Amino acid sequence: MRKLTLLIIISSLLLGCASLTKFKESPSINLVNLNLLESTLFEQRYQLKFRVQNPNPESMPITGMHFALEINGKKFMTGLSNHETSIPAYSDAVIEATGTTTLFGIARQIQDLQNKKGATLAYRLSGKLSVQNQVFAIPFDIGGAFSPE
């Protein structure tokens, strides 16, 4: 009897965990714009715009996000957004965020660029999207490379 009860409890927990997210596909996220908002000696603040595509058959009510941007494997910027939007099924929307860099982060990147003239720049954007009525945030991790020339 104890084994049957334990089996029922474990089954219920597993079914509960499976229903914590209703989205079968992760959204795709692309950086579409970056503007300098303000700059001081030790900190620079940027406005970023991300296009978020929802490949699911139900709308995705985004309540916020946080992210980190790395360039050539080094942390460059972190940011947040409390921009709320609902992305309809099989559609996309732009989410605005604010990112911050430091003097040291920029100095590191300039030094790397001087040491690697003509080299390809690798980037990695990672973070999480918070979705209304969902226990766990949806992680994202995209990357690529481009040549500055």
**What does the pLDDT average to over 26-38?**
90
Q: What angle do CA 80, 30, 38 make, to 5 degrees?
A: 45
CATH superfamily, domain 22-144, is Immunoglobulins (2.60.40.10)
Query: 12 — phi, psi (to 5°)?
Result: -65, -40
User: Which residue ranges make up each domain of the chain?
Assistant: 22-144
pLDDT, position 111: 66
**Residue 95 CB neighbour total at 10 angstroms:** 20
**What does the pLDDT average to over 13-36?**
72
For 70-102, what is each residue's pLDDT tens digit? Answer: 888 888 899 999 999 999 999 999 999 999 998
pLDDT, position 73: 85
